[in-house]
A and B are shown apart, each in its own frame.
Chain A
Amino acid sequence: NAGVTQTPKFQVLKTGQSMTLQCAQDMNHEYMSWYRQDPGMGLRLIHYSVGAGITDQGEVPNGYNVSRSTTEDFPLRLLSAAPSQTSVYFCASTSDRVNSPLHFGNGTRLTVT
């Protein structure tokens, strides 16, 4: 029972590099989302998707892109990494974002130097 799988677990980037954080879920959840967790700021929503082919911005979308070509996968792309994007990133999904809780992945710790 894999749940929500995130890769990689750790990543170090240089400023200006690009990369993709992977997120996959095997629970057939329609709703998927990306959060970043920073000390003293809790979790902030970056992007979310309510189904394949549909994405929308959260509260901190700048510098990130997403796509949702399948129900299972929701990758997060950093276009040109900046030190301000150093954070822990969590992917979360749910079958029903109103009546069911979020299921979180184990997180990706990203450092941008």
Chain B
Amino acid sequence: AQSVSQHNHHVILSEAASLELGCNYSYGGTVNLFWYVQYPGQHLQLLLKYFSGDPLVKGIKGFEAEFIKSKFSFNLRKPSVQWSDTAEYFCAVLTTSGTYKYIFGTGTRLKVLA
């Protein structure tokens, strides 16, 4: 079955620490990839996206993600987190071969300690 796995459910970091959140998907066809962020009490917002081209994509607020096709992965990274990065992060896959279907991961709650 098609799925998106986010292995880290809760992450706690101190400010200035580096962040890497894992995302793996199971789907054999072509995909578009997204990371969305949900700040406390707010709606989901797009952090970054990958459709094609350079597999290293940069998003807002210093976040980046790398698509490794051979590993079906799209991990999110940030070199130095800030307290304001405290949020829940969702990886999402849009299948683009055959039917178009969004599949969301279960989310990772990040807490950054000041």
Q: Cα distance A99–B106 when bound, in Å?
A: 23
Q: State whether the Cβ of B49 lies closer than 8 Å to any Cβ in chain A.
A: yes
Please report A residues at the B interface, Cβ cutoff 8 Å.
Answer: 4, 33, 35, 40-45, 90, 92, 97-99, 101-102, 104-107
Please list 12 pairs of residues, one from A and one from B, whose beta carbons are closer than 8 Å in the complex, sorted by A's number: A42-B4, A42-B104, A43-B104, A44-B104, A45-B101, A97-B100, A99-B32, A101-B36, A101-B46, A102-B46, A104-B36, A106-B42
Name the residue of chain A whose CB is nearest to the CB of B102: A45
With A40-B106, A42-B90: A104-B100 Cβ-Cβ less than 8 Å? no
User: A residues within 8 A CB of B45?
Assistant: 104
Q: Is the CB of A42 within 8 A of B43?
A: no
Given A43-B90, A106-B43, A101 and B34 contact (CB-CB distance below 8 Å): yes
**Binary contact readout B72-105 vs A (1 if CB under 8 angstroms, 0 otherwise):** 0000000000000000001000101000111011
- Within 32-67 of B, Cβ neighbours of A (below 8 Å) are at 32, 34, 36, 42-46, 49, 51
